[in-house]
Amino acid sequence: MALPFSKDFFTLFDLPVAYEIDGDELRRRYQGLQHAAHPDRHGQATDQERRLATQLASYINEAYRTLKDPVTRARYLLEHWGVDLNAQSAVTDSAFLGEQMMLREALAELRAGQGPKAHLDTFLDDIVGRLQDLQAALGQQLSSAQGPLQKAHVTYDKMRFLQRLQEEARDLAEELG
């Protein structure tokens, strides 16, 4: 069994190193790799071979989860191209920061029960639309490793903020039933 642990996630799935990927193709390649590496297929193997198969299946799962999600894929790509994402947030856009304060206040009001659940659905739809716009912008910015990586870092930070806000709003929606 060939162990591709040293391969980057794009190479593992035989995909071009790019932000825009074909999700269906990624899923097909993931299923093929998982089928070949799944530990159950190695029941007659030695203990070491079964451990390696389990590690490989885990690695394939991690790679798939990373590339499947637009935000984690952006993080992976930016790090792949040497951007330090642990540095202080690159977002200095005062209009965006103001919008985020407004969105946080709106979510706090929804959490406090001020407004019907339909407002929460509208809030979530707005966040999804904003995320899609940022994903499109990031796709343009990351169309090559030579692209404007500082702009991409800012866009990624904005996406992370909106994704966290979306998760909080979805948690609230679950609480409200």
Answer positive or negative: Cα dihedral of 138, 125, 164, 174.
negative
Q: Residue 98's pLDDT is what? A: 92
Q: Domains plus CATH for the chain?
A: 9-68 (1.10.287.110), 94-176 (1.20.1280.20)
Please write the tens of the pLDDT for every residue from 121-153.
899 999 999 999 999 999 988 875 556 688 888
Helix pair 149-176, 70-80: axis angle to 10 deg: 150
pTM: 0.80
Tens of pLDDT, residues 44-98: 777 777 788 888 889 999 999 999 999 999 999 999 888 888 876 667 788 888 9
pLDDT value at residue 119: 86
| Residue 82: both structure tokens together | 């040497």
What's the whole-number mean pLDDT along residues 146-174? 88
> Residue 87: what pLDDT?
73
Residue with the bigger pLDDT between 36 and 45: it is: 36
